[in-house]
Structure formats: C-alpha cells, structure tokens
Structure 1
Amino acid sequence: WYSVVDDGNYTIQEKKWLKLVMYCESGCNAESDKNPVYKGLFQWHPKYWNIFYPKDNIYDGYSQIENTVRKIRNGVNLYAYWPMCHKRYVTKYGEFIR
C-alpha cells in the first residue's frame, strides 16, 4: 500500500502520516480483522464506516486510503480517530500541520 500512497495526490506530510498510521494500525493489511471491532488498513469502526461510506467496502484498501485522506482534509481530530498511532506520528515527525 506504500506505493499507492506514494503515487497518490497527497502532500508529503499526508503520505508520511498515511504510511505510518496504516502500518501501525493494521501492518498494512487492507483485510485486517485482528481487532474484534475495528477493520481494514486504518482500523475503522464498521458502524461509522457504514454511516460515512455506505457504498464502499471497509476491506478495500483504496477506499480506506481515499476516505481517510478526505476525513483528514475535512479537519477530523486525528487523536480521536487514531489515538495511539497518531501519537507515534507526532513523536516521530511532530504535529500534523493543516
């Protein structure tokens, strides 16, 4: 999934964040089901995924990347959605600047 992110129309900061968080959340496994609740590359909660993206498959890595970027660009609180992994990003790269 790193190459998909690298080839996408994302800022350098977004690319760093996406790669670190998807690795942290799922080990870059789009079909990750390791958590009893959260699913996919970015470990979305199925309830919220279905509310926000009812036509998209939660296990589709492309959809996970695009919808996660859209959420970021719309100003979501990164600590609320990805608390542990976003904290790792901040420790490594500093705060995410919008």
Structure 2
Amino acid sequence: MENLFANLPKDTSQEHFKDLLVADGLRVERIVSYGQSSPESGWYDQAENEWVSVLEGSAVIEFEDGEVIALAKGDCLNIPAHKKHRVAETAANTATIWLAIFYR
C-alpha cells in the first residue's frame, strides 16, 4: 500500500514524477510540483490522453488555443491526446500534488 501524500520529495528545485501503475495502454503517475511551470515555449503534445486531478495545492493549465484553466484542490481535467498544453503555474508556497492518468 502507498499513500499519495506520504514521502513527498524534499528537493523543491524541480518537479518529481513517480509511476504508480503501468499497464497496457494505461499509466498512473504522481507528480509533485513546487512552484514550477513549463517554459513559455514548452508545449506538451502527448500521444496519450491525460486525466489529471490536483489533490493538494493549485495549478493553471494553458492550452495553445488560448484557453486557460485554473485548478484548485479536488479539481480534475481531461486533456485529449495531442491537445497542446503547458503548466502556466503551480502553487508557490506549498506542494502541488497531482494524480495523472495517461490512457490510450
């Protein structure tokens, strides 16, 4: 058994990614951010669909088409494959803990 809120990384200078489950066509990942954002030119163009939920903290997702979505604790969002997006910001004063499910 694993607790998503336990053993958070102490290094706040970077985001931390941990695969929790990998199966055929499915990947579940915990992401811990400490105020990080994607570079202005750093658009994700993923081959997988991504369902993401903010379990703690907050974040802002920006899409290439100009749409901006603010996510607070408990919010979730489905991002279709190849919909270009970036993380515009994450909470600066606390860890943002994400649960991301990537699927085909």
Asked if TM exceeds 0.5, the reply is no
Structure with the higher helix share, 1 or 2: 1
Larger Rg: 2
Larger relative contact order (CA 8 Å, sep ≥ 6)? 2
TM-score under structure 2 length normalisation: 0.28
TM-score under structure 1 length normalisation: 0.29
Structure with the higher strand share, 1 or 2: 2
